Structure 1
Amino acid sequence: MRNSSGWWLALLCGWLFSLPVPAYADDTASALAQRQQEQTELRDKIALIQKEIESKESSRKEASDALKASESAISVSVRKLNDLSIKQKKAQTELDELNLQIATQQALLTQIRLALSEQLRKQYQSGLSPLSAWLSGNDPQILGRNLAYLDYVAKARTASVARVQEQLSRLADLQARADGKQLEIAGLIRDENEQKSLFDAQRKDRATLLAQIEGQLAAQRAEADRLDRDGKHLNQLISSLDEQIVVARQLAEAVKRDQEAKKAEAARQAAEANKKRPDVLPAEPSTLKSGFKWPVRGNVMARFGTDRPEGGIWRGLLIASPEGAPVKPIASGTVVYATWLRGFGNIVIVDHGQQFLSIYAYLQSMLRQVGDAVTDSDTIATVGNTGGQLDSALYFELRRRNAAIDPTPYLEK
């Protein structure tokens, strides 16, 4: 690759410096909407930067570049399928809750109806009514007691009828909401089936394309200087992310601040006493500690510092795992890069603070976007073999100050 990255690095920094640093506005829904808008603008600008870099970069083309459109489209499809699955599960949970409320309401309505029926039966059996009481000729005191009792019964019956009407109205509302939720689920299932069909077609197209360029890919893998070029490309990219990391982290923290403030306000309104605002900005660790979970489970095919068959050494771990297996970040952080990159296919970079970055490559799909705050329990991607790789595996790198370091000491034994 030509040593001409200075212009696009300057362009990148210029654009990033022109981005507004988010102000910490009032803890309101409008502030949260503003953060989301700022995230969208950041992603749009990064996309423009990426296009500009690609258009002005070296004119050298590689066989794996032909896979970019196909593999990027597959990533989008998988992310949409994942989103639809999450929405469907949420809708189903809400429907189950509505059905439970409907069952509870029906049981309560049955109890009220039985109580009202019992009241009517007992009054009928007693033969007591306002007219019969007046015509009975009883002592005035007895008459007064009977009339007071009948008045109490009449009021109780009226209250029971009102409760029946109220419960019927609530039951109708719950049923209408349940019907609406069933329609929503049916729509999500339909959208999911359509997306699956599109995904299957995209996979077939990629398989066809792979078969067409397999010879070129094989020759490309044998190039002794290809790994060095790809490594330099990644180094230049990460060097250019410094300002982007600051902006993305600020946005993620601002969104989290607004979300936590919204939760705190809801809690305050629900219970005025003993309220306590949560600490929305956890302290950043002074260093990345050891004992983190592996990003994916599988056999380690290549370790840091070992020789690569085609020349050069591995700067990370290559972990064999089935296509579509979930990939999780090793620690909490902020997504600062998520796109297709030559030599690495679909790639996600997470900033953990203190100049620690973790890199996840060869991905089938990227499920999170720039600016997203993530934890070690979140699925950020799925395993694949993009970028012209032979086998389904995750390439994982850990960097400190843009220098690749051995990830193994930081992971669980």
Structure 2
Amino acid sequence: MKFWVLLLLLSGAAQAAPDQPPAVAPHQQDLSSVRKEISTLKKDIAQKEAIRKEAQSAIRESEQALQATRQALNQLDSKQQISSRKLAALQSQLQDTHDNALDLKSRIASILQRQHRGGSHDAMRLMLNQADPNQSSRDLAYYRYIAQAQQGLIQRLSVQESELQALAAQVAQELEKLGLQSHRQESQQERLAREKATQEQQASALASEIRNKQGTLSKLQQDEKRLSSLIAQINRQIAAQRQATARKKAEERKARALARKQENERRRKLAADARSQGKTLPAEATRPLKEEAVEAVADASSSGKAFRSLQGRMQMPVSGNIAGRYGSSRPEGSSWKGLFIRTNPGQSVRAVADGTVVYADALRGFGNAVIVDHGGNYMTVYTGLGTISRGSGQAVRGGDTLGNTGALDSGESGLYFELRYMGRPINPQSWMR
């Protein structure tokens, strides 16, 4: 039947050859290998998930820092606007004061010019020309008062202009300081934005890697479920086959025992009848009684010596390049359990030794597959075939064509070849020339 292929591949015999380790539930070892990969992948995903959470936390911190920087920039911008308005007002006042001082100076100059042209600029002359000394005294006092008032006003305007210039310089200095602070904040904002972009890229890459590994994990878990189901089905078939064989052998033993008993009883009766009649015993009554025969004896196949004699002299099943060696890492993170021989599609795949095909069909995850039982608990596995030319149950000899090369389900073109003992993979290269 179709799944009988893994009868020895996964469950093996009860005893191992003297130079092989004891067989301890080989199918459990296969499951253990898958589960170990699943456990390793889960740990890797958990670690990357923790790193992703740290990256997200860093992104939140960067966002908070950026928000604080934006708020600081907004505050600085408000201060700059206030200071700019203040500076503009001071500059306007300064200009008004400057204009007032110029206007006052112009008026004083105009008065002086009129006095000069009218001859009234000489106070002594004005006093001598006056008939009334009191009036002359009052006029002189009036001129002095006007001169002093104008001079005082000019001085106050000059002081106010100086104060306004100092305030304007102070405000301009404050604006320059605010500009430097804004520049620093903007530089910090750009740096934080770059850091956040880098963190987001890293987080995105981690999320993508986690998704990919979760997909691989899901596939491994599905493979584990299928393998467990297949093993359970094979074990049930093995148990049923063993029970049927045991029943048949028991029935045969019972039939032989009954026949032997009946024959022995017949002979005793013949002997008893001959003695009672005083006759000579028949020849068949004098022959020894039949005993249970040994049905099977130990041979080369029981220890696998016939197949083991090929160790070191076996040839490859197909020509090509060895792209994956036993025990080396595979791209998805697991390791090769056999040899991956890269070759062009359509190359003939040949049996490495005599045996019986126990599986010839598609095997999910491996493409088309052929498994050959060589006896002695040894099997060879050929996967990634494009076509299969042998059917389950057919006997093959070394060098017979099993099919042509194709590709694995992963898309890798070539042949994946395993050698198994007691259901466990062993290094095929140690058997090759």
For the criterion TM > 0.5, the same-fold answer is no
Q: Which has the larger radius of gyration?
A: 2
TM-score, structure 1 normalization? 0.35
Higher helix share: 2
TM-score, structure 2 normalization? 0.33
